[in-house]
Each structure stands twice: as C-alpha cells, then as structure tokens.
Amino acid sequence: MIAWLNENLGADAATYIGTGIGIVGLFWGGSKVLNLSVNKAVNEIDNSKTQDQTLNVGSGNGFQSGGDMNVTIGSIHSPEQEEEKAKKSHDLRIIEKIVELLPYEDTLHHVDLSYISGMPYELARSLDRVEDFNGPKNKIYNQEVELAKKDMLIAAHKFNEVCISFLSVDHPDRKPLMVVPPFDWRNGPSEARYRELQSSLSDKATVLIDKYKKFVEVYKSEGFISDKI
C-alpha cells in the first residue's frame, strides 16, 4: 500500500495518508478496548447487585425492589412456645364460655337475693348448665385458674341442690319467668321447713358469690383478658 502511494502520489503524500490511516486504526482499536473495559465494569456492578439482593433475602427491609424477602428471625416460635400458646387459647375459651353463661353483675345480684325473692328462670338454668364445665373436656391447663374454677363449680352445685327443693316456677304466664320460694309455706305447718331451706340457700349463695368473685380475680391475675370477659 505504501509502495503504491509512493509511486503514484509521491513520498510526502503517501507518508501523510499512511499516517492518517494509522491514526484511524488506532482509534478504532482503542474504542474496542474501551468498550470491553466498560462492559466488564458494568458486568461487575450487575454481579455485585445480584449478590447484594441475594444477601437481602435474609436481611432486607421488605421494601426493596426485585421482590426481596424479609425474614424476621424473632417471629419463629419453638414447639414449646406454640404448645403454651395453644393451652392459653384453650383456657381463655373455657373462661369466656363460663362468664358468658353467668354474666358477672347479674349473677351476683340475683344469687344474693335468691333466698328472699328467687331469681330468673334462665339464670337458674345457667347455674345448672355451668356444672358441665367440671369435666375433663373443659379442664383448664392453668392450675391456679382450674382450682378456682373447681371451687366455684362445687359451690354452684351445692347452691343448685337447695334451689331444687326451695325454688319453683310461679306464674308461668309472667315474663320474665321466675323461680321463687314457696311463700305459701309461711305461717303454716311447713314454715319450719321453709325457714330451714331459706337459711341453707342464703349460706350457699354467700359461698357461691365468694367463689365466683375469686374465680374472676384469679383468671384476671393470670393474664386472661379479652373483650368478652
């Protein structure tokens, strides 16, 4: 190429043209090298990002792009913790059922007056049904609460035994339906029996009220609280 230029254009022109071609070749080759270097740097940055995102699977904040997961180690419970949680949920359900069956204020009020004026028929039925919570199915795992529950149910049973003998439905056409003492026994041959049963029911009512209050006090002190109780 250079020899041909020398022959046809002269040595000086050939020299300049050859130099120009060399410069163009230098830039073309340099651009390829530069592109390779830039591509390599970009790939390294991309790889670094990929590695960072992979690490973020265990330590990300949950709002990173790319769908990174945020794993919170503290939310994992041991089998023992899960078992305790299940037991407490079971206990709370039993407590809620008892309190729903025997509303606290109404129960204390009517039981306290039962030996004088009787009580609503529905409450008498609820006091009878609450004895079913003494079976193994309704055992409370928390020992303190279970003991208080048993004492309350024993008191309810003894109260109910006297109620059966002393209270009965009067005026079934009236609402709410009531169970009341046999007032016609007074000032007659059965008055002694009336006074005996009345005194017994008064005693049993006092014990039941105390045991029910204790039951509520214990389950609250053990941390059993919900919007139902």
68 located within any domain = no
Residue 147 to residue 141: CA distance in whole angstroms: 10
Residue linked to tokens 């017994």: 200
Residue 6 has pLDDT above 60, yes or no: no
Rounded CA separation 208/129 (Å): 15
Domain with 14, as residue range(s), is: 2-59
pLDDT at 33 over 80: no
Quick check: is 129 in a domain? yes
Per-residue pLDDT tens for 86-130? 999 999 999 999 999 999 999 999 999 999 999 999 999 999 999
One domain for residues 95 and 167:
yes
Residues 53 and 157 in one domain: no
Mean pLDDT of 8-17: 47
CA 157 to chain centre: 33
Could you tell me if residue 69 is inside a domain? no
Pick the closest to residue 220 from 86, 104, 84 (CA basis).
104
DSSP SS3 for 170: strand
Q: If we measure between CA atoms, which residue out of 134, 125, 95, 133 comes closest to residue 224?
A: 95
Can you give the pLDDT at residue 69? 52
Helix or strand or coil: residue 132?
A: helix
Residue 224 — φ and ψ, nearest 5°? -90, 95
Q: What is the pTM of this model?
A: 0.66
More confident: 56 or 135: 135
- Residue 18 maps to a domain: yes
Structure tokens at 198: 């009345």
Q: Would 74 be classed as within a structural domain?
A: no
CB 111 within 8 A of CB 208: yes
Quick one: 138 and 215 in the same domain? Answer: yes
Question: Which CATH number characterizes residue 127's domain?
Answer: 1.20.120
Partner residues linked to 170 by β-bridges: 178
Tell me if 54 sits within 8 A of 93, measured CB to CB: no
Give Rg (Cα) of the chain.
45
Residues 86 and 193 in one domain: yes
Structural domain includes residue 40: yes
Q: Specify the pLDDT at position 226.
A: 86
* DSSP helix/strand/coil, 181: coil
**Residue 106, CB-side half-sphere exposure with 13 Å CA sphere:** 13
Domains: count for the chain: 2
Alpha helices in the chain (DSSP H): 2-9, 11-59, 79-101, 104-117, 121-129, 143-166, 191-221
Query: Could you tell me the pLDDT band of residue 80, with boundaries at 50, 70 and 90?
Result: confident
Asked if 210 and 97 sit in the same domain, the reply is yes
Largest Cα separation within the chain, whole Å, is 158
Opening angle at CA 150, ends 148 and 153, nearest 5: 110
Q: Is 226 a member of any domain?
A: no
Mean pLDDT of the chain: 80
